[in-house]
Amino acid sequence: MNEHDSERLAGVLEQDGLVAAAGLDDADVVVLNTCCIRENADNKLYGTLGHLKSVKDRRPGMQIAVGGCLAQKDRDGIRGRAPWVDAVWGTHNVDRAAGLLREAAVAGPLTEIAEEAAADPDAFGSSFGARREQAWSAWVTIQVGCDNACAFCIVPSVRGREVSRPFAKVVGEVEALVAEGTVEVTLLGQNVNSYGRDLTTNLRNEPRWRERSEITGSAWAAGERPRARPLFADLLRAVAGVEGLRRVRYTSPHPKDLRAETVAAMAEEPAVCEQLHLPLQAGSDRVLTEMRRGYTAGRYLEKLALARAGIADLAVTTDLIVGFPGETDADFAQTLEVVAEASYDSAYTFIYSPRQGTAAASDPSRFVAPGVIAERFERLKVVVEHSALAAHRQRVGRLEEVLVEGPSKRDPAMTTGRTRQGKLVHFPSPPKVAPAGAFADVVVTRAAPHFLVGELVEITTAPRHRTRIPVAAI
Ligand code: SF4
């Protein structure tokens, strides 16, 4: 979400006439788009601002801005600690970035923080004009904010209540992207499978919205079993049906809200990839209750079994927190058991990071000792890598459809791409033979816990996207 906000920010600034600088020494404007999900980001922000002060002292005309979650959380505190910052804006003010920089240039330093995403369906959350890093693959926001209250999570307090983008706006944006050559989209939201819940409430309360089927779509109301609101599955099917789109992914769903309709849409829509990111967080029911996650380990495994039974060749990934306050050895042992049973293709493992204002951070006496966390973290990594390697070994010898991303970062002689399951594949090929955005058939020859290695068989589809040429280069 934060990375896509950066793309939206870059798009807003480019539309205002700014051009991306080659580096800090060439920049007239520096924007730090922050994330506060983990404590480290706080420390990094103020360290970076300290460095930027010395740059600005040499070049007083330079503007410095801070946006994103940390700005939403710390507000005027940022300019209090770093008075050389020119503009501070929140998570809901991205569209105002260029205007705020202009206003700050005239009137002096300012802060603008909106508490909530604009509730007006015409105003909220467009990613149109975003300066996307990859023209062939795009994130599309379908929802911002979160109505859950997980005890470790700061997101609800910095991103606000859940707000879904109107159905037709999401589909329209995907159609526009595909017309420009995008072949893969990832639908983004804090809790994607609750998409649409707020739209129905708004329709009930706002008479002027009632006639507007573009807000909620209409296919959901016309089926054999018409419903009062669109589900995430309805949106998934509508997006997957956009002609020319080859791959649809989404992140992140909440296990408690994963419905059979979503599994059916994934199984039946050819464009929806066989990839499910289902955050477990912990395997102990006691810890899950304290985390306020709304499911038990058993219920989670049932949902996972439903998804695996419905979707052939499904890759499953997860998020796990080690050292949640009060986590005992017995709790952690249950996490290891559930992780082993779930047989993940990979997992994002995090050391618990206390965030001020969250329920879990209120009692430091329950924090787990760093040495204990470090030891548990290593044990968890071993279990995850074991199942990841086993899943990857099963793919050796198979022909995979790979969407090419470009030369490998580590070895430019290798090209990198992703399979439909989201797995990274490296294969030898000069970039001109397998250009970014092309589809290639690759035979997998070797497996590692975090990637696959293969041999290029053939390019099956040439890139369709247009290449952006910077105006300054003409
Ligand atoms: Fe945070 Fe929980 Fe909402 Fe995810 S579902 S954003 S972890 S509060």
Q: How far is the CA of 91 from the centre of ligand 1 (A)?
A: 16
Measured CA angle at 94 (ends 92, 100), to 5 deg: 110
Tokens 């060439």 — which residue?
26
Q: How far is the CA of 152 from the centre of ligand 1 (A)?
A: 9
Ligand 1 neighbours by CB, cut-off 6 Å: 146, 148, 150, 153, 155-156, 190-191, 254
Which of 144, 147, 191 best tests ligand 1's pocket when mutated (most atoms within 8 Å of CB)? 191
**Mean pLDDT throughout 97-114?**
90
**Mean pLDDT throughout 192-196?**
91
Atom of ligand 1 nearest to the CA of 254: 5
Give the span between the Cα atoms of 74 and 91, in whole angstroms. 12
Q: How far is the CA of 218 from the centre of ligand 1 (A)?
A: 29
First-to-last alpha carbon distance for the chain, in angstroms, is 33
pLDDT single digits (tens) 150-179: 999 998 888 888 888 888 889 999 999 999
Does residue 22 carry a pLDDT above 70? yes
**pLDDT at residue number 473:** 46
The DSSP code sequence of 237-275 is HHHHTSTT--EEEEE---GGG--HHHHHHHHH-TTB-SE
pLDDT single digits (tens) 316-325: 999 999 999 9
Does residue 118 carry a pLDDT above 90? no
**pLDDT at residue number 385:** 97
Q: How far is the CA of 187 from the centre of ligand 1 (A)?
A: 17
Q: What is the mean pLDDT of the chain?
A: 89
Atom of ligand 1 nearest to the CA of 293: 2
- Of residues 30, 35, 33, the one with CA closest to residue 104: 30
Q: How far is the CA of 351 from the centre of ligand 1 (A)?
A: 16
Does an H or E element contain 424, and which? strand 424-428
- Asked if residue 189 lies in contact with residue 145, where contact means CB atoms within 8 angstroms, the answer is no
196 pLDDT band (50/70/90 cuts)? Answer: confident
* Whether the model pTM is above 0.85: yes
Of all protein residues, the one whose alpha carbon is nearest to atom 1 of ligand 1 is 153
Of all protein residues, the one whose alpha carbon is nearest to atom 4 of ligand 1 is 190
Does residue 463 carry a pLDDT above 70? yes
Pairing mode, if any, of strands 439-447 and 452-461? antiparallel
309 pLDDT band (50/70/90 cuts)? Answer: very high
Atom of ligand 1 nearest to the CA of 153: 1
**Mean pLDDT throughout 358-364?**
96
Measured from the Cβ of residue 363, the count of other Cβ atoms closer than 10 Å reads 11
Atom of ligand 1 nearest to the CA of 156: 8
Give the span between the Cα atoms of 319 and 145, in whole angstroms. 19
Which of 36, 147, 155, 291 best tests ligand 1's pocket when mutated (most atoms within 8 Å of CB)? 155
Q: How far is the CA of 37 from the centre of ligand 1 (A)?
A: 10
30 pLDDT band (50/70/90 cuts)? Answer: very high
Q: How far is the CA of 325 from the centre of ligand 1 (A)?
A: 17
Give the span between the Cα atoms of 399 and 308, in whole angstroms. 21
**pLDDT at residue number 474:** 46
pLDDT single digits (tens) 372-397: 999 999 999 999 999 999 999 999 99
Does residue 344 carry a pLDDT above 50? yes
What percentage of the chain exceeds 90 in pLDDT?
65
Give the span between the Cα atoms of 127 and 10, in whole angstroms. 11
- Residue 358 in tokens: 């969250």
**pLDDT at residue number 302:** 97
Lowest mean pLDDT among 181-195, 196-210, 226-240, 286-300: 196-210
- Residue 466 in tokens: 């247009």
- Of residues 437, 433, 417, the one with CA closest to residue 425: 417
Tokens 């016309």 — which residue?
222
**Which tops the pLDDT comparison, 335 or 95?**
335
User: Nearest 5°: phi and psi at 252?
Assistant: -115, 145
Does an H or E element contain 238, and which? helix 232-240
- Of residues 263, 356, 349, the one with CA closest to residue 73: 356
Q: How far is the CA of 125 from the centre of ligand 1 (A)?
A: 19
Of all protein residues, the one whose alpha carbon is nearest to atom 5 of ligand 1 is 148
